[in-house]
Amino acid sequence: MTKVIISGGGTGGHIYPAIAIANALKEINPDIEVLFVGAEGKMEMEKVPKAGYPIIGLPIAGINRSNLFANIGFPKKLITSLTEARQIIKDFKPDVAVGVGGYASGPLLLAASMMGIPYLIQEQNSYAGITNKLLAKKAQKICVAYPKMETFFSADKIKMTGNPVRKDILEVQSKKQEALAFFGLQADKKTVLVIGGSQGARTINEAIDGGLTQLVDAGYQVVWQTGKLYIERAKTSASVFKGQVFVSDFIYQMDLAYSIADVVVSRAGALSVSELCLAAKPAILVPLPTAAEDHQTMNAMSLVNNDAAILVKDISAKESLVKATIELLKDEAKQAVLSKNIHQLAKPEAANEIANEVLKLIAKA
């Protein structure tokens, strides 16, 4: 039996592409056995089993860049995680390993390299993460979503595939009536979808919170994913707008959320950008300024430079985000331009292309 280990995680931006790759592998060959390896206590330990796959957690943690003293325990966690990763590989006996970024992939792919297991890296962002940069030297193949990644990786290893996303995002246009019923909203009003990434976004949340009355008074309705830290405050704010504002800490039915959205307000993580391209939604992007090497701004600019999205800086979001959202909701001609241009950047076959690259590595082994 063919066996594949997929490692990585920490955020939805790493987890959902990993699940999409696993699903594509199983579609090609239902007999493939897939095991996930993540980081203990991180969201992959919940999301991956919900997708139907087994996962083992390592005690690895990321490096704290803002407080160096917080990294005192890092060497021990790394050594322990590497030891455990070697044991996982020994027990599972994979034919190939796949790393999707995030610190959980580090020990697993390092162990794979030491044990002669070929591996593939999937880099979602326009600026390569530190883990993937370190692991790239021994990787057999590196699948990327943006051009000019030769800056970070050896050109002969790079395959331009785009980012894999959940398959249901490909079929959002036909689900609007189902979505209206699910979110309890009205068919005759335009809808803004607000998503701050899988863990929420404080600046976006505060801006939307402060502008809910403006949005509703202007005749619009809101679907608002807040993340866990802001949900109670958001529920209180939304309680006076029954039937006009839907709030949730996490939306699993993103296909329905996209289907109902006339405009999307979002962070600019790689997964969010890829989903917006496939869903062909007019978007206002608010990049997370503290993202490593400011990669979210680079992701956003790849759209803005193609007239495929609007950028609002995080620092000015509280003052200008709601105003920019209302302006775009009113401007149907601009919505049409953004929708057309963002859809041209979509890579609907990304998951299948990456799965095929994985299978090629197995065939070579």
Q: What is the rounded (10 degree) CA torsion for 319, 323, 324, 330?
A: 180
67, 68, 74, 75: CA torsion to nearest 10: 180
Q: Nearest CA to 83 among 114, 54, 52, 62?
A: 114
Cβ atoms 45, 38 nearer than 8 A: yes
User: Residue positions in the annotated binding site?
Assistant: 11-13, 125, 166, 198, 251, 270-275, 296
Count H helices and E strands in the chain, helices first: 14, 13
Which residues belong to the annotated binding site for UDP-N-acetyl-alpha-D-glucosamine?
A: 11-13, 125, 166, 198, 251, 270-275, 296
Render the burial of 78-108: b for 16+ CB within 10 Å, e for the rest. Answer: beebbebbbebbeebebbbbbbbbbbbbbbb
**What does residue 187 show for φ and ψ, rounded to 5 degrees?**
-75, -20
Name the residue among 262, 272, 344, 350 with its Cα closest to residue 305: 344
CA distance 335 to 190: 12
DSSP-assigned beta bridge partners for residue 37: 7, 56
In 3D space, the residue among 268, 298, 301 whose CA is nearest the CA of residue 285 turns out to be 268
- Separation CA 175–CA 167 (nearest Å): 14
* CA–CA gap between residue 325 and residue 314 (Å, rounded): 14
Question: Which helix (DSSP H) or strand (DSSP E) does residue 75 occupy?
Answer: helix 74-92
Structure token digits, residue 199 = 């863990």
CA separation for the pair 98, 35 (Å, rounded):
10
